[in-house]
Structure 1
Amino acid sequence: MREFGTIPPCLRIGLAFAKDTLRDCLAARMADPQTPHHHNERTCPVWRKPMEEFFKCNVDAGFGSDKRSFGIGMVIRDSNGSFIVSRTNFHDGAALVKEAEALAIHEALSWIKELGYDKVIVETDSKISEDEVHSEEPYFTEFGLTISACRALIRNQSSLKFGNVRRQANRAAHTLVKTALQQACFGTTYVTPISIHSIIMDDCNYPPED
Structure 2
Amino acid sequence: MQLYSSSRVRSESYKVVRQRKWKPPNPGEYKTNSDGAMFTKSDEVGLGVVVRDSNGLVGAAMAEKIKQPHSVECLEMLAARRAMIFVKEIGLQESHFEGDSEVVIKQLQRDGSLFSSTGHLARDTLSHVSSLRSFSFAHMVRQYNAVVHTLI
Fold equivalence (TM over 0.5): yes
Q: Secondary structure at the match of 2:59?
A: strand
Give CA-to-partner distance per residue, 1:82-125, whole Å, 9 cap, x none.
11111001013343001111111111101111211022111000
Q: Relative to 1, partners in 2 of residues 1:175 and 1:55: Cα closer, same or farther, differing over 3 Å? A: same
Which residue in 1 is equivalent to 2:43? 68
Which structure is higher in strand share?
2
Which residue in 2 is equivalent to 1:47? 22
CA distance in 2, matches of 1:67, 1:96: 15
Matched, 1:90 2:75: no
Give CA-to-partner distance per residue, 1:112-140, whole Å, 9 cap, x none.
11211022111000000011112242669
Which residue in 2 is equivalent to 1:117? 92
CA distance in 2, matches of 1:67, 1:98: 18
Give aligned-pair identity as a percent.
24
Q: Which amino acid aligns with 2:148?
A: A
| TM-score when normalising by structure 2 | 0.81
Q: Relative to 1, partners in 2 of residues 1:158 and 1:93: Cα closer, same or farther, differing over 3 Å? A: same
Q: Relative to 1, partners in 2 of residues 1:99 and 1:115: Cα closer, same or farther, differing over 3 Å? A: same
Which residue in 2 is equivalent to 1:78? 53
Q: Which amino acid aligns with 1:135?
A: R
Matched, 1:172 2:150: no
Q: Secondary structure at the match of 2:151?
A: helix
Give the aligned length: 140
Which structure is higher in helix share?
1
Which residue in 2 is equivalent to 1:30? none
**Deviation, structure 1 residue 66:** 3.6
Q: Which amino acid aligns with 1:70?
A: V
Q: Secondary structure at the match of 1:176?
A: coil
Give CA-to-partner distance per residue, 1:50-108, whole Å, 9 cap, x none.
11110111100010014622101111111111111110010133430011111111111
Which residue in 2 is equivalent to 1:156? 131
Say whether the 8 Å CA contact 2:48–2:61 is kept in structure 1.
Answer: yes
Q: Secondary structure at the match of 1:131?
A: helix
Q: Relative to 1, partners in 2 of residues 1:131 and 1:82: Cα closer, same or farther, differing over 3 Å? A: same
CA distance in 2, matches of 1:95, 1:71: 14
Highest CA radius of gyration, 1 or 2?
Answer: 1
Consecutive unaligned residues of structure 2, counting only runs of 5 or more, are 1-11
Which residue in 1 is equivalent to 2:110? 135
